[in-house]
Amino acid sequence: MNNESHTFKVINNRISLGDESRATGSFRDNTVISVFQPIFSLSHRSPVGYEALCRARSIDGLAVSPLALFGQVQSESDNVLLDRLCRAVHIQNFSAFSDKSSWIFLNVNPLITVVGKNYGPFFRDMLAHNQISPNRVVIEILEQNIHNESILSAAINYYKELGCLVAIDDFGAAHSNFDRIWNIRPDIVKFDRSIVVQADANHVVRKALPSLVNLVQEIGCITLMEGVETGQQALIAIDSNVYLVQGYYFGYPRETLVDPSGNGNSLSKLCYWHAEIAAGERTRYRNTVDQCLIEFRRLLEKIEMGIDGPIQSCDALLALPRVRRIYFLDDSGYQIGKNITTQEKQDHADPATSHYQKLPMQTGQDAITSGRQC
């Protein structure tokens, strides 16, 4: 094998300038071009980076999907060639823009990083030629494609040693697991679109999502929610406390970068909308709690005055729609007696707490519910 077969110099010879001086690449009978999808910081309300994506056209001018393009790969050499060609086209086009601070996100197959050493130097030369600092480059790695931990670690270490940032892509899809996040410590974790879609359809997932995001952030990773396509999903992303967002709702992939001044207003409106909704939810919650407190005080008065027994005194409080069950505690936090509820509310138990009903101690007698368990 020729060790210089796919060096940057060789790859660069496959690149030419097309319309409006944009770089295009040649692979078989296809022309490869770049499009860039913006990635926004919610706190700054402006774009902080762009994911570079390839688009292709056949010799007849017909659109060729990325899947069909990479489907034309027939060998390891082809795989390295096309992967490097796409990155070279993206970097050259990105370097031509006036924006000199935003990140560029590049999708990389980790296997290419491992076998690439057999095809000559490329990545460092490419960045130097285009005067792109490695700390502006985020390497996206789809971790589900790699089952060999040593290959994944080698790929990540290579790019980190160059000074690039590393992002794990599509986290939450297929067989993603936290073990890899803890072990490889990526700079950025991109949550798969399926996460926000599930949260949009299932309120239990939506309630749990902020905890999942917080866990990833506690590890020291920047969190990014991708695939946000609707206003409702954008609100879910804000609720989850992710740092960055990406998706059609915020911007479609296109050949040019977005005007930062044109997006601050729309993001401000989104944040204002979210603040209004959150304020309304807090008011409704406060009203619910106040109503419960009123009935709770009446319950205590009835018990103290001996008007009703403890169980009979609970009827009015238990009739409130958000009250699921009532139980009494002693001074040490131990439950006194059984849970007080109705059959109807047992049948419509909150999924977040209904698993407790499966425990052998279904009455709750002697349970410690004050937060002290030993």
Query: Within a 10 A sphere around the Cβ of 19, how many other Cβ atoms?
Result: 8
pLDDT in tens, 317-367: 888 888 888 888 888 888 888 888 876 766 565 555 555 455 554 555 555
CA 177 to chain centre: 14
Beta-sheet pairing, 46-57 with 103-108: parallel
Each of the 374 residues of the chain gets a pLDDT tens digit; together they read 455 689 999 999 999 997 778 999 999 999 999 999 999 999 888 899 999 999 999 999 899 999 999 999 999 999 999 999 999 999 999 999 989 999 999 998 877 877 888 888 899 999 999 999 999 999 998 766 666 777 778 888 889 999 999 999 888 876 566 777 888 889 999 999 999 999 999 999 999 999 999 999 999 999 999 999 999 999 999 999 999 999 999 999 999 998 876 665 677 778 777 777 777 778 888 888 888 898 888 888 888 888 777 777 788 888 888 888 888 888 888 888 888 887 676 656 555 555 545 555 455 555 555 444 43
Please list, residue by residue across 289-303, b when 16 or more beta carbons sit within 10 angstroms of its beta carbon and e when fewer do: eeeeeebbeebeebb
Residue of 270, 248, 261 lying closest to 35 (CA atoms)? 248
Q: CB–CB of 94/16 below 8 Å?
A: no
Q: What are phi and psi of 372, to 5 degrees?
A: -105, 115
DSSP string of 96-162? Answer: TSS--SSEEEEEE-HHHHHHGGGG---HHHHHHHTT--GGGEEEEEEGGG---HHHHHHHHHHHHHH
Measured between alpha carbons, how far is 70 from 78 in angstroms, rounded to an integer?
A: 9
3 state SS of 172:
coil
pLDDT in tens, 88-141: 999 999 999 989 999 999 998 877 877 888 888 899 999 999 999 999 999 998
- Alpha carbons within 13 angstroms on the beta-carbon side of residue 325 total 22
Beta-sheet pairing, 326-329 with 244-245: unpaired
Q: CB–CB of 28/72 below 8 Å?
A: yes
- pTM for the complete prediction? 0.78
